[in-house]
Amino acid sequence: MASHAAARNGGARRDQRPLKKRLADASAPYLYSAPALILIVTVMLVPLILGISYAFRDIQLLNPMSGGFIGLDHFRTLSQDQNFFRALKNTLWWTGWSVLLQFIFGLILALLLDKPFYGRAIVQALVFLPWAVPSFLAGLNWAWLFNPVVGPIPHWLFALGLMNEPYNILSDPQLSMWGPIIANVWWGIPFFAITLLAALQAIPRDLYEAASIDGAGPVQRFISITLPFLAPTIAITVLLRTVWISNFADLIIVMTNGGPADRSQIVASYIFTQAFKRLDFGYASAIALVLLALLISYSMLIVILRQWLLSKD
């Protein structure tokens, strides 16, 4: 035992490789991974840091004299910007309703598609089609559907007595937000349907059989088997979709452009407007930084919640 330990100590002291060789050995792992690391840093970190730095500079494309460092000026302006706070409120509204409705309809669709029926494969393929439509195309399409000059929806609503006259809800300050939300729900249902269907199909069938023999009806089976099995998938998809949708300005830009009178402006579309309409990149970067901070804190909250739920098990 003692001699064994001595031998090992002796081995550690007797490193007689030349210094150069030892240096080369020690740096080898870093050298091997350097190309990948450098690539990642250039592609990911550089744009991020540059973007963040814009938030503290006065960058206006139309003003060649701009570009100077202005500290927290943008954030001071932002704290007084009523449009920003309205956009923040709209973002909650837009994200909340979009995610909720996408989830509910996606779950219903997944439950329907989980049952075998004739022609299921074709129906599944058709159901997932909206996801394949480019978002700008979807936005244009829905904008036309809502337009009483070319689209049928206002006329249908008028015929049903829900509208006094066929008008465009996208130009109604009270309702304009719902246009993009409906388009977004249509576009995003397949995502929930696909992921929830995959999770549903992973539930062992004999659990349902055991439960039905144990005396559980359809509702009880859903509550005590389907929901617990879907819970992890629901948590992760809702988290992901919340982040994506709150950043997702395409439909709003195409359908309402944030209007009328900024009533359907969300933070993401407000950033787009600031950057590419007013060409104020500095201010747009400052708003983007705030949005980033909000989303990161939201994600952290969910992660902590998840850890807590797991530890409770």
Instruction: Answer positive or negative: Cα dihedral of 224, 190, 173, 144.
Output: negative
118 binds other proteins (CB under 8 A): no
The count of residues interacting with other proteins (CB under 8 A) is: 17
From its phi and psi, is residue 232 left (phi > 0), alpha (psi between -120 and 50) or beta? alpha
Q: How far is the CB of 199 from other proteins (least distance, A)?
A: 14
User: According to the binding rule CB under 8 A, does residue 157 interact with other proteins?
Assistant: no
Does residue 229 touch other proteins according to CB under 8 A?
yes
Determine the Cα–Cα distance for residues 82 and 84; give it in Å rounded to an integer.
Answer: 5
Q: Quick check: 111 binds other proteins (CB under 8 A)?
A: no
Note whether 245 and 95 are within 8 A (CB): yes
DSSP 169: G
Spatial separation of the C-alpha atoms in residues 218 and 224, rounded to whole Å:
10
- 171 DSSP 8-state letter: G
Residue 311 Cβ vs other proteins, minimum distance, rounded to whole Å: 14
Nearer to other proteins among residue 52 and residue 216 (C-beta): 216
| Residue from the set 108, 207, 240, 292 that interacts with other proteins by CB under 8 A | 207
The CB-of-200 to other proteins minimum distance in angstroms stands at 15
Residue type for position 213:
I
The binder of other proteins chosen from 209, 276, 278, 296 (CB under 8 A): 209
Distance CA 60, CA 57 (A): 9
- Binding of other proteins at residue 225 (CB under 8 A)? yes
Give the residues lining the site for other proteins (CB under 8 A).
Answer: 204, 206-207, 209-217, 220, 224-225, 228-229
